[in-house]
Amino acid sequence: MNAAFYHLAVNHVPVIGLPLVFLLLAAAFLRRSRELAGAAFIGLVLTALASFAALKTGGAAHELMDGIPGVQHPLIHAHGHAARWAWYGALALGILGLAGLRLLRRGAFPRALTAVAALGALLVSADMAYVAHLGGLIRHPEIASDYKPAASDDHDDDHDGDHDHDRAAGATHHD
């Protein structure tokens, strides 16, 4: 396992986790639930930590991408720049999470803080989705909205794999 593996493994945590934390925050706000709020605030802290890990492993993953054909370095730089801004948002949410946990320990239900954190989680979730999209474009150009598959001389209308299997077995087909 290398830095790229670790980066890919950890970067999904904030992208998937933060929208789930948003749902917890929204439910905590609507139900005035201290238990849900506590879980959500812990989720904000964990998301911030995972975002930091993703940010820190990104540089080493970038170095591994040097020399790989087809990798567009401007995409890597755009992804890294967007990731830094997403990290700032995750950091702010992590701090809100710590503040919320402290208020809960004092016995109060931080309704206003829960609402602000939910709104922030929604906004940073959108930012994280954008960062993930940019990251995906680095090695998955097919997800770009303007992607057009390259023309191929080897068109095969059989999509169930039988032709590939027959060719591998030495059979010939005359279409």
| Inside any domain, residue 169 | no
| Inside any domain, residue 158 | no
| Inside any domain, residue 159 | no
| Inside any domain, residue 153 | no
Q: Name the average pLDDT for the chain.
A: 86
Domain tally for the chain?
Answer: 1
| Backbone dihedral region for residue 32 (phi beyond 0: left; psi -120 to 50: alpha; all else: beta) | left
Question: For residue 70, what are the domain limits?
Answer: 3-146
Which of the 8 DSSP states describes residue 26?
H
Tokens linked to 140: 């998955």
| Inside any domain, residue 7 | yes
| Inside any domain, residue 107 | yes
Could you read off the pLDDT of 31-64 as tens digits, one per residue? 999 999 999 999 999 999 999 999 999 888 888 8
Give the pLDDT confidence score for residue 174 in this predicted structure: 46
| Inside any domain, residue 58 | yes
pLDDT-based confidence at residue 163 (cuts at 50, 70, 90):
very low
| Inside any domain, residue 71 | yes
pTM reported for the whole predicted model: 0.78
Residue 144 backbone phi and psi in degrees, to 5: -70, 145
Question: Once rounded to an integer, what is the mean pLDDT over residues 67-91?
Answer: 90
pLDDT-based confidence at residue 82 (cuts at 50, 70, 90):
very high
pLDDT-based confidence at residue 173 (cuts at 50, 70, 90):
very low
Q: Is pLDDT above 50 for 7? A: yes
